[in-house]
């Protein structure tokens, strides 16, 4: 079988999730090509060496430049912080490697477009890591919408709420610095919902948003590389991203939308939810119960209508046949396995994977417009980007 040699940059939270996906995908799916875990890349040699051994990578590198120079790498997977994305992608494209890049694509629209352009120019395959599209329940939502089960769509409302920085003693990690992260929950969380909205409803035409940082200073951790940091330094630093964002929008097709993302909601852990109302029915989803989709149909008998809690665990549901019997639920990490499956299949078939950088750019255009609208306090038309 054809092999696709993978080099992965980053080995923390996302790096681990991606590593696991390459490790497991072939056990559950019949793939047209075999992903080979060639090299793991990270700056700290001790750390990357240990991670490579633990995760099952054949080798490791301590610089991404070195990784890109290796001839035995076909696909570069980037889970580094957002500020590093553009440079790596451009170099990878130039080196002719396919690229799988975590979201958000970049710190801003300009960088995102540059990445897309570079990838297209190089003729490589490119994919952006909107993994929540790969939840079987989200795929079922897509199927039902495409079949017309909820009719013409009128409303999309999404929330993505977490609480991991509610404690004022939570330190100033890199995700709280604009120069590294681009934005706060807007780019980190809301971007997933923007992509879901694009995927399920259509293009977003204009937006108006607001944002707020409730806790303006936090302690600087001794290390700023992790998602959480246990050792805190004494000095305080400024939080430069928002703690919460909230925006309204109109889709080009006339539907109304709203998205709220916040890291300051006690009890909400990974509370990514959306509800879509159409002329014939409604859909509702919450990631914390990711194996379920709520579906209301106006075509049920009038006295027996209600939101159905569909357990999206039947063999006929997307991706599920590879897993366990009905009701034997799957989890977060499976979204990455599904991503890798689709990516490998696309590369093997010489097709562009979905979502590609085009989708990453489209999402970034909305993100930037929200930021601008929060600053100018006006509705902002989302730019339509083409190459």
Q: Which residues between 4 and 43 bind a second copy (CB under 8 A)?
A: 13, 16-17, 19-20, 23-24, 26-27
Cβ atoms 328, 124 nearer than 8 A: no
Q: Which is nearer to a second copy, 312 or 358 (CB)?
A: 312
Judged by DSSP in three states, 301 sits in: coil
Structure letter (DSSP) for residue 386: -
Q: Which of 271, 274, 319, 357 binds a second copy (CB under 8 A)?
A: 271
Cis peptide before 130 (omega within 30 of 0): no
Q: Which residues between 299 and 318 bind a second copy (CB under 8 A)?
A: 300, 302-311, 313-314, 316-317
What is the DSSP code string of 217-264? EEEEES--SSSS-SSEEEEEEE--S-SEEEEEEEETTS-EEEEEEES-
**Nearest distance in Å: CB 329, a second copy:** 5
What tokens were used for 328? 């034997």
Phi-psi region of 204 (alpha: psi -120 to 50; beta: other; left: phi over 0): beta
Cβ atoms 7, 39 nearer than 8 A: yes
**Nearest distance in Å: CB 359, a second copy:** 23
326 binds a second copy (CB under 8 A): yes
**Nearest distance in Å: CB 95, a second copy:** 29
Give the C-alpha separation, 262 to 242, whole Å: 9
Q: Which of 289, 345, 383, 385 binds a second copy (CB under 8 A)?
A: 289
As beta bridge partners, residue 284 has: 275, 294
The 69-108 site mask, x for binding a second copy (CB under 8 A), equals ----------------------------------------
What tokens were used for 330? 């799957």
Q: Which of 84, 166, 180, 348 binds a second copy (CB under 8 A)?
A: 166
Q: Which of 71, 234, 327, 386 binds a second copy (CB under 8 A)?
A: 327
Number of residues interacting with a second copy: please give it, by CB under 8 A.
98
Judged by DSSP in three states, 52 sits in: helix
149 binds a second copy (CB under 8 A): yes
352 binds a second copy (CB under 8 A): no
**Nearest distance in Å: CB 361, a second copy:** 25
Q: Which residues between 182 and 241 bind a second copy (CB under 8 A)?
A: 208-210, 212, 214, 227
What tokens were used for 66? 């070195």
366 binds a second copy (CB under 8 A): no
């Amino acid at each position: 079988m054809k092999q696709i040699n993978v080099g992965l940059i980053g080995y923390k939270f996302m790096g681990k999730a991606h590593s696991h996906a390459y490790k497991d995908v072939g056990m559950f799916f019949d793939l047209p090509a075999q992903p080979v875990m060639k090299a793991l890349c990270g700056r700290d040699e001790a750390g990357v060496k240990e991670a490579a051994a633990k995760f099952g990578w054949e080798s490791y590198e301590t610089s991404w430049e070195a990784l890109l120079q290796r001839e035995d790498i076909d696909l570069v997977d980037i889970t580094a912080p957002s500020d590093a994305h553009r440079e790596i992608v451009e170099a990878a494209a130039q080196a002719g490697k396919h690229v799988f890049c975590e979201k958000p694509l970049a710190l801003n629209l300009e960088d995102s477009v540059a990445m897309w352009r570079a990838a297209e120019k190089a003729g490589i395959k490119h994919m952006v890591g909107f993994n929540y599209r790969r939840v079987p329940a989200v795929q079922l939502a897509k199927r039902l919408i495409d079949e017309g089960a909820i009719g013409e769509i009128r409303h999309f409302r999404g929330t993505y709420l977490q609480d991991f920085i509610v404690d004022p003693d939570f330190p100033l990690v890199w995700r709280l610095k604009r120069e590294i992260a681009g934005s706060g929950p807007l780019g980190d969380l809301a971007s997933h919902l923007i992509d879901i909205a694009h995927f399920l409803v259509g293009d977003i035409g204009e937006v108006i948003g607001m944002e707020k940082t409730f806790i303006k200073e936090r302690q600087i951790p001794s290390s700023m590389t992790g998602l959480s940091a246990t050792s805190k330094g004494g000095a305080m630093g400024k939080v430069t991203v928002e703690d919460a964002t909230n925006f309204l929008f109109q889709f080009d097709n006339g539907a109304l939308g709203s998205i709220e993302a916040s890291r300051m909601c006690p009890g909400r852990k990974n509370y990514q939810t959306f509800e879509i109302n159409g002329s014939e029915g409604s859909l509702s989803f919450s990631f914390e119960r990711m194996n379920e989709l709520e579906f209301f149909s106006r075509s049920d008998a009038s006295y027996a209508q209600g939101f159905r809690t569909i357990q999206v665990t039947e063999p006929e549901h997307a991706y599920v046949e590879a897993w366990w019997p009905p009701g034997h639920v799957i989890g977060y990490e499976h979204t990455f396995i599904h991503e890798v499956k689709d990516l490998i299949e696309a590369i093997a078939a010489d097709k562009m994977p979905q979502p590609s950088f085009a989708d990453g750019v489209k999402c970034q255009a909305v993100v930037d417009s929200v930021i601008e609208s929060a600053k100018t306090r006006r509705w902002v038309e989302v730019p339509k980007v083409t190459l």
